[in-house]
């Protein structure tokens, strides 16, 4: 039995997007560490800005989706 089987679609999407944010942060940090240890000269502020932009966009997507799902409509979209 899958732990996601009985969850609503909104919950599954939020869980997936949250995992994406976590993996982006972890893999970016590992990649940056590997770059530093192999003698590279990465542009850390530019990399940090790119990671922050991507993470911020994904978090905004999660919040927007949850807010959109929570909005009540009267049947005709208003």
- Is residue 77 in some structural domain? no
State the residue range of the domain holding 62.
9-67
- Is residue 78 in some structural domain? no
* ∠ CA 40-46-48, rounded to 5°: 95
Reading the chain (78 residues) residue by residue, the pLDDT tens digits are 577 677 777 777 778 888 888 888 888 888 888 888 887 777 778 888 888 888 888 888 878 877 777 765 555 555
- Is residue 17 in some structural domain? yes
Q: How many distinct structural domains can be found in the chain? A: 1
Q: What is the pLDDT of residue 3?
A: 72
- Is residue 25 in some structural domain? yes
Q: How far is CA 28 from CA 14, 33, 34, 58, in A?
A: 21, 9, 10, 15
- Is residue 74 in some structural domain? no
- Is residue 36 in some structural domain? yes
**pTM, two decimal places:** 0.60
- Is residue 4 in some structural domain? no
- Is residue 75 in some structural domain? no
Q: What is the pLDDT of residue 12?
A: 79
């Amino acid at each position: 039995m899958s732990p996601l089987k009985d969850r609503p679609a909104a919950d599954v999407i939020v869980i997936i997007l949250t995992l994406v944010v976590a993996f982006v942060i972890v893999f970016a940090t590992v990649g940056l560490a590997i770059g530093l240890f192999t003698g590279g000269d990465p542009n850390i502020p530019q990399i940090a800005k790119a990671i922050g932009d991507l993470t911020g966009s994904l978090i905004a997507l999660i919040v927007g989706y949850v807010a959109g799902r929570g909005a009540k409509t009267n049947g005709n979209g208003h």
